[in-house]
Amino acid sequence: MNDNISGLILAGGRGTRMGNVEKGLQPFRGATMVEHVLRRLAPQVGPIAINANQNLARYGELGAGFGALVLPDETLGFAGPLAGLEAGLRYCATELMLTAPCDSPFLPPDLAARLLAALRAQDADLAFAATEEPGMRRQPHPVFCLVKKSALAQLSAYLAGGGRRMDGWHAGLKAAEVVFDDGAAFRNINTLGELQSLDEASAPSLAQLAARVAGYDPEALPVRHAQRIIGEYVTPVGAVERVALRAALGRVLADDIVSPISVPAHDNSAMDGYALRDADLAGGDAVTLAVAGTVFAGRPSGVAVGPGQCARIMTGAVMPPGCDSVIAQEHVAHATEHAITIAPGALRPGDNRRLAGEDLMAGAAALARGRILRPADLGLLASLGIAEVPVRRRLRVAFFSTGDELRSIGEPLDAGCVYDSNRYTLYGMLERLGCDLIDMGIVKDDPAALEAALRSACENADAVVTSGGVSVGAADYTRQIMAKLGEVTFWKIGMRPGRPLAFGRIASGGRSAFLFGLPGNPVAVMVSFYFFARAALLRMMGAEAAPPPPLLKVRAQAPIRKRPGRTEYQRGIVTLGDDGVQQVRTTGAQGSGILRSMTEANCMVVLHDEQGDVAAGELVDVMLFEGLV
């Protein structure tokens, strides 16, 4: 760290190349790009700041751990990196400032040291990086620049004259060029495709993730380990679109929303009554105040309230200048058209006054990206005058059932056949997540049919969910085909119901999709979906702010049998006991084919690995179905 150098990360663009989401806020390798730059730059400098013109609150949150300030341009109109450089130099408290762009997460750890050495050795005003790769011309990188604070005057004059070139502003100043060997360290990530390809290239394989799990055993994998591997393996879709506010319900917010106005915009009355000055009530006796006029909501009033006066005011009306409180009309001891009398102690200073910005201040973060927008969020956005919001594009999910014994609704049932219920439960669960669905029907137990279905699903969807064909008795070709199309692992999860599970990523026709191979038993399909696929699909949707369904502690109404060493999910019914305390009982038989038990249940009783039998009255974890199924 060099305390004589301030650091500045340039993140002041519009993000037009990234689907109107700023580069610095794009997710990359488990963090945002600006966080990667912060981590590399912070150890090389003293004070550090981020130049940004949008989403200032979000940048402030990301930079807080590094003590980073957020500085907007002072030259208006998105004038480019030079405007950010100007803002940084204006507030720079050190002799020197080092800049780096937010879309270069690989910058070298010795950037500051080498630029400083060249600047001192050549007695230069600024030093910038360059690269020279074999067979190619030298490439300057002027946004990686160490500059003296004294250069501010020339830079501001250049900007004021309409200049915008990063390599043209320092004419007449002495510049030192420092050549670095590693060209990749100065790479800018400019498009979503480039970002995704780099992210995927660095993503760990399933085998690597599994190797990080102590005692990994695919034949007896604990629930928590499978959930962790899946969570680390899946990645969000990158595409963003802007939609009208009414169309945003249930969509995932792609960017932070910063309030453009204060809500409310002015101090206003919380009720119908009289606005007055607190100083007039200071004596402790009954007070009579003259009514100076009436203030209505939504109308300019011009009412002036002087000492010994008040104003009749309606709910939501702007407080007259000098007034501090509002007394409700029903709390006035006596009122006429021209005066009111207030009894002692009828009002406390500040009562019934809503302050400007009490709900939200201009420039404050209103909603964080990754949030699944709810009805209250739409109301909040409408109160800010926001008509369109950036959201992640809908996740495309293909799903099908496998098995020769399955028949679709409307077909006759042959001996030994059953109607396919899994596709309908999968449809319902995926529809509740807000996915775009591709129902591929029933796929027969045939290698060619299964491969064709998986290829088609992969080429048209982001994720593929299947039911059946992953148990011990499944034909060998299932594993072979899935392995042929990508990296897929088959697990036996330490759980009941839903032990067999296939998970991975398959590719076909230049496209790839995450695969969730769920068991075939109807209840096992639902349990596996809720405790494995659901969280992964939400992550793919970009729902960073969507927590897993909460587990609540509820008293067991009767004993529950449980074998230690595996996680059990038993269908349950939560009711109120005679003492008014919630209690839970199971639905009875817990076979994985008894779908009726899921319709009777209003919760899942979650019995963890280490638990054994549960006694009546003991607290157990439950996951309520309301809002989930």
Annotated binding site for Mg(2+): 103
322 vs 325: CA distance, rounded Å: 10
User: What does 290-354 look like in DSSP terms, one character per residue?
Assistant: EEEEEE-TTS-------TTEEEEE-TTPBPPTT--EEEEGGG-SEE-SSEEEE-TTS--TTTTEE
Q: Residue 547, Cα to own-chain centre: how many angstroms?
A: 10
| CA–CA distances in Å: residue 232 to residues 32, 52, 463, 506, 530 | 16, 30, 16, 17, 17
- Name the residue type at position 511: R
506 vs 387: CA distance, rounded Å: 39
Q: Which residues are annotated as part of the binding site?
A: 10-12, 23, 51, 73, 103
Closest CA relative to residue 46, chosen from 117, 120, 122, 116: 116
Q: Are 447 and 404 in contact (CB under 8 A)?
A: no
By DSSP bridging, strand 511-518 and strand 96-101 are unpaired
Give 282's contacts (C-beta < 8 A, 6+ positions apart): none
Q: Are 49 and 69 in contact (CB under 8 A)?
A: yes
* Helix ranges restricted to H, 161-303: 192-202, 206-211, 223-233
- Name the residue type at position 55: N
Q: Which residues are annotated as part of the binding site for GTP?
A: 10-12, 23, 51, 73, 103
Number of helical (H) and strand (E) elements in the chain, helices listed first: 15, 35
Q: What is the CA radius of gyration of the chain?
A: 32
191 vs 188: CA distance, rounded Å: 9
Closest CA relative to residue 308, chosen from 329, 328, 294, 322: 322
473 vs 484: CA distance, rounded Å: 20
Q: Are 211 and 366 in contact (CB under 8 A)?
A: no
By DSSP bridging, strand 353-354 and strand 365-367 are unpaired
- The token pair at 334 is 């006596």
| DSSP H/E element including 514 | strand 511-518
CA terminus-to-terminus distance, the chain? 53
600 vs 620: CA distance, rounded Å: 19
Q: Which residue has the tokens 């030079």?
A: 82
By DSSP bridging, strand 463-467 and strand 511-518 are parallel
Sign of the Cα pseudo-torsion (606, 610, 615, 620, in order): negative
- The token pair at 236 is 């969000």
Three-state secondary-structure class, residue 185: helix
Dihedrals φ, ψ of 200, to 5°? -65, -35
Dihedrals φ, ψ of 586, to 5°? -80, 165
Instruction: State the DSSP code for 252.
Output: B
